[in-house]
Amino acid sequence: MDYPRRQALVAAQLGKSVDALLVTHLPNVRYLCGFTGSSGVLLVKGNTAVLFTDGRYTAQARNQVQAARVVIGKGSPLLAAAQVVQRRKLRKIGIEGEHLTVSAQAALRKALGTGTRLLSVTGAVEKLRMIKDAEEVARIRAAVDLGATLLDTALQSIRPGVKETEVAAELEYAARRAGAEAMSFETIVASGARSAMPHGAASVAPIPARGFVVLDFGVILHGYCSDMTRTVHVGKSSAGDRRMYEAVREAQQAAIDAVRAGVASGQVDRAARSRLRQAGLARHFTHSTGHGVGLEIHEPPRIARGQREPLQAGMIVTIEPGAYVADRGGVRIEDMVLVTDTGCEVLTPAPKDFIEL
Q: Decide whether 54 or 227 has the Cβ nearer to Zn ion.
A: 227
Among 19, 54, 216, 269, binds Zn ion (CB under 5 A): 216
Phi, psi dihedrals of residue 53, rounded to the nearest 5°:
-145, -170
Contact 2, 102 (CB under 8 A): no
Give which of 72, 38, 70 is closest to 54, Cα–Cα: 72
Query: Rounded to 10 degrees, what is the CA torsion of 273, 285, 235, 147?
Result: 80
Q: Is 296 in the site for Zn ion (CB under 5 A)?
A: no
Residue type for 100, please? L
Helix (H/G/I), strand (E/B), else coil: 303: strand
Contact 85, 116 (CB under 8 A): yes
Task: Identify which range of 43-51, 221-229, 268-276, 321-329 contacts Zn ion by CB under 5 A.
Answer: 221-229
| Nearest distance in Å: CB 244, Zn ion | 19
Task: Identify which range of 97-105, 138-146, 223-231, 254-262 contacts Zn ion by CB under 5 A.
Answer: 223-231
Residue 48 per-residue DSSP state: E
Q: Decide whether 67 or 188 has the Cβ nearer to Zn ion.
A: 188
Task: Identify which range of 49-57, 70-78, 211-219, 345-353 contacts Zn ion by CB under 5 A.
Answer: 211-219
Q: Is 252 in the site for Zn ion (CB under 5 A)?
A: no
| Nearest distance in Å: CB 267, Zn ion | 19
Q: Is 231 in the site for Zn ion (CB under 5 A)?
A: no
| Nearest distance in Å: CB 329, Zn ion | 17
Contact 37, 159 (CB under 8 A): no
Q: Whole-angstrom Cα distance, residue 127 to residue 139?
A: 19
Residue type for 130, please? M
| Nearest distance in Å: CB 263, Zn ion | 19
Q: Whole-angstrom Cα distance, residue 246 to residue 98?
A: 39
Q: What is the DSSP string of 163-219?
A: BHHHHHHHHHHHHHHTT-SEESSPPEEEEGGGGGSTT-B--SPBPPSSEEEEEEE-E
| Nearest distance in Å: CB 175, Zn ion | 14
Q: Decide whether 19 or 334 has the Cβ nearer to Zn ion.
A: 334
Q: Decide whether 216 or 296 has the Cβ nearer to Zn ion.
A: 216
Q: Decide whether 136 or 334 has the Cβ nearer to Zn ion.
A: 334
| Nearest distance in Å: CB 20, Zn ion | 34
Q: Is 227 in the site for Zn ion (CB under 5 A)?
A: yes
Q: Is 299 in the site for Zn ion (CB under 5 A)?
A: no
State the number of binding residues for Zn ion (CB under 5 A): 5
Q: Is 318 in the site for Zn ion (CB under 5 A)?
A: yes
Give which of 149, 308, 123, 135 is closest to 226, Cα–Cα: 149
Q: Is 253 in the site for Zn ion (CB under 5 A)?
A: no
Binding site for Zn ion (CB under 5 A): 216, 227, 229, 318, 334
